[in-house]
Structure 1
Amino acid sequence: MSAQQKLDVAVVLGSTRGGRFGPVVADWLIGHLEARGDMTAYLVDPAVTPLPTVMPGWGAELPEADQELLAAVSPRLAAADAFVFVTPEYNHSFPAPLKNTIDWHNQQWHGKPVGFVSYGGLSGGLRAVEQLRVVMAELNAVTIRNTVSFHGAAQCFDADGRPKDPAADAAAKTLLDQLDWWARALRDARRARPFAA
């Protein structure tokens, strides 16, 4: 498959907390994306490329240092055909660094699909996903119905970073198949006519 036909998928990590489990989950997911042959994956990690945390007032110019931080992330999100958020659940919702990444951008999300892989304790991060669906609808994104969720995440993976339950791999395939369908349909639609915000 040519590079032009492949989908660019941004995997966005939600947590920057010390000792976070997100990179294990993201690496596993990226392995699935790369194995498909029809998708190119790249990681957006707010711990590696942080964004500003203070937004200027309306009409105020963004400081140069903040512009540089955005320049490391914004073009990658704009180029993406689709997104997968890898997120834990904090206090029945999703982490502040993920909200910050979302809020610094707008048009980058328009008319594009978003899938979710969540992890955590008993809830497996599903309440974070519920909240994210509402937020992303406000930003004109399409959320994928099927998700992948790891309940008691640290016990779900072996020492090599692979899920112990093969059902996780089947769930990832279903999620990515649906992401592929939506991403191609929406990419074709955006090419035929720019998204009306």
Structure 2
Amino acid sequence: MDTPLRLEVIVASVRPDRFAPVVADWFLRTVRASSEFDTGVIDLAHITLPVDLTETDETAGYRARLAAADAFVAVTSEYNHGYPASLKTAFDTAKHEWRAKPIGFVSYGGLSGGLRAVEQLRQVVAEIHMVSVRETVSFHQAKKRFDAAGETSDGAAIDAAARLIRQLAWWARAMRAARAADPYPG
């Protein structure tokens, strides 16, 4: 268990002219400044996951990345009081690869900062046997929270990101050890 924890950051929005890269890039800089994780990015705008959930070479490669991960963070917007359909497809494309692994959320949006989407996602990830980390990073009126260089001075979000990373690392270490000692019975 001396290998670094593998974190996959899932960028959920696939809309043209999306704001997601600004938020995701900030979080990636933040998490990569920590030595806790070896971090990759799964940007749903750049992979094809069929909405009918058919098997393709790309979905097989996607599931292999999920299986190799110890933890996940979903960077999600909120559309119409919910999460993007692309993220639901991403969850539904795999099954066993998610189980007994932690996930954290970085959300953004208007007045709610994406928190309504996150609360719905907690139900989804519980159903696929994941552990949702309680700490959430949320950007209310997100476009006003970042400067032209993609940096933020939002102290609440910066503090929440540090706590989320620590909690996610704790859960990832504990669950990786548990899966190794006794495979998850799901």
TM-score (normalised: structure 2): 0.96
How much is the aligned-residue C-alpha RMSD, in angstroms?
A: 1.3
Identity, % of aligned pairs? Answer: 50
Determine the structure 2 residue equivalent to 1:157: 146
Are 1:5 and 1:38, in contact at CA under 8 Å, matched by a contact in 2?
A: no
Q: Which has the larger radius of gyration?
A: 1
Separation (CA, whole Å) in 2 of partners of 1:88 and 1:95: 7
Could you list the per-position Cα deviations for residues 6-40 of structure 1 after superposition, in whole angstroms to 9, with x for gaps in the alignment?
Answer: 11001001110011111111111111121111211
Match among 118, 138, 145 for residue 107 of structure 2: 118
Say which is worse superposed, 164-173 or 96-105, in terms of deviation: 164-173
Secondary structure in structure 2 of the residue aligned to 1:72: helix
Q: Does 1:84 align with 2:80?
A: no
Determine the structure 1 residue equivalent to 2:18: 20
Separation (CA, whole Å) in 2 of partners of 1:71 and 1:49: 12
Separation (CA, whole Å) in 2 of partners of 1:90 and 1:4: 40
Determine the structure 1 residue equivalent to 2:91: 102
Cα deviation for residue 166 of structure 1 reads 3.0
Are 2:53 and 2:92, in contact at CA under 8 Å, matched by a contact in 1?
A: no
Are 1:118 and 1:124, in contact at CA under 8 Å, matched by a contact in 2?
A: yes
Separation (CA, whole Å) in 2 of partners of 1:125 and 1:167: 15
Are 2:6 and 2:37, in contact at CA under 8 Å, matched by a contact in 1?
A: yes
Q: Does 1:31 align with 2:21?
A: no
Cα deviation for residue 158 of structure 1 reads 0.7
Cα deviation for residue 164 of structure 1 reads 2.3
1:53-72 equivalence runs, <5 A: 53-55=51-53, 62=55, 67-72=56-61
Separation (CA, whole Å) in 2 of partners of 1:96 and 1:72: 20
TM-score (normalised: structure 1): 0.91
Determine the structure 2 residue equivalent to 1:142: 131
Match among 158, 165, 188 for residue 177 of structure 2: 188
Say which is worse superposed, 161-170 or 111-120, in terms of deviation: 161-170
Separation (CA, whole Å) in 2 of partners of 1:39 and 1:172: 14
Are 1:52 and 1:69, in contact at CA under 8 Å, matched by a contact in 2?
A: no
Separation (CA, whole Å) in 2 of partners of 1:29 and 1:150: 12
For these two proteins, the number of residue pairs brought into alignment is: 186
Structure 1 unaligned spans of 5+: 57-61
Structure 2 unaligned spans of 5+: none
